[in-house]
Amino acid sequence: MLYTRKGDGGTTKLFGCEQKRISKSSAVAEALGSLDEINSLLGLVKVRAKELGVTVKSLADEPVWRIVHAIQHNLFIIQAELAGADKHLSESKVKDLEKVIDNIESEMPPIKSFFVSGGTELGATFDYARTIARRAERRVVKVVEEESREIGEHTRQYLNRLSSALYALARYSNFTAGVVEEPPHYE
């Protein structure tokens, strides 16, 4: 059933957890919503990357859509952990994300400045996803600090690396399409 009417008064229950109902405006609901938002946007990114056939050469031509798909699964683990379930990211998930970043960086010119988003549709969408990932990370940190909710060390690390990975994927999407990054003019 897609609706229960139990949330009509502004409360919700965290899926799969034995906790009481919480306000939909609570910090944990906001954090979970931001994680859900990034995951949904990554679904759009994944479809576009698959259509374009973008691969990472230094990762044995790993399709970008598969990298994004793995990130989506990891975000579900993070959401479950934040909701209170006994689910946790392993260190290997952080290492996998670092490997993606490192390999992409090895194929690209070094970063010399910020760049204006919008080189390609895929790159711009990765950039948009990066900003939502940063917001989600801030909201998760707020929950941990203000509600004394525990999350694992690897979850914190993963969320911190996620925006870097999405930034790398944005740059890579533009680079592989032959689009030169444009730095801001500051004029």
pLDDT in tens, 12-27: 666 655 667 665 567 8
CATH code for the part of the protein at 25-176: 1.20.1200.10
Domain residue extents for the chain: 25-176
Specify the pLDDT at position 120. Answer: 95
What does the pLDDT look like over 62-78, one tens digit per residue? 999 999 999 999 999 99
170 Cβ neighbours under 8 A, 6+ residues apart: 117, 123, 124, 126, 127, 130
Q: Helix, strand, coil % (nearest 5) of the chain? A: 65, 5, 35
